[in-house]
Amino acid sequence: MRASQCIPCGDALASLWFPNLDAYEFVDPCYKKEAFEATYAKGIAPMPSPDEWENEGKNPILPLSKTVLPGRPKKSRNREVNEPPACATKLRKTPQTNQCSNCKQRGHIKTSCKNQKVTQDPPTEKKRKGRPPKKNPDPETVKRN
């Protein structure tokens, strides 16, 4: 659009106001009230129903072309809550029930537990890992060498 075919911006209106020029004279005629009234003087007919169209089915409406969105594409779609995960190692979105570490029952945690503590077998001594000490070796580390 050329600069002569538009509505003047605020800076142009200010520069027209200073020498006492009429800003209405600088507006393109297509934006004036007379042009608007002449355009819609005859009225606009409503669009007929699809049954009355002349070229029915000759120009089918095609789907929009696929646009590539900016950014990295998603690796997978969002799954529903009750749908199993794609990978078996991932947790589900369904709420998990807590298990008490004191009484081993589900539904509460250790801080709110009112049951007695379940006795367990004493833990067996684990085999020590890593490099054996050089000073004061014990019999177990001597066996490892």
Which residues are CB-neighbours of 144 under 8 A, at least 6 positions away?
A: 132
Q: Does some domain include residue 78?
A: no
Q: How many domains does the chain have?
A: 1
Q: Does some domain include residue 33?
A: yes
Q: Does some domain include residue 137?
A: no
Q: Which residues form the domain of 32?
A: 10-40
Q: Does some domain include residue 14?
A: yes
User: What tens digit of pLDDT does each residue of 20-44 get?
Assistant: 888 778 788 888 889 989 988 988 8
Q: Does some domain include residue 18?
A: yes
Q: Does some domain include residue 141?
A: no
Q: Does some domain include residue 29?
A: yes
Q: Does some domain include residue 75?
A: no
User: What tens digit of pLDDT does each residue of 72-111 get?
Assistant: 888 888 888 887 777 767 666 666 778 888 888 888 888 8
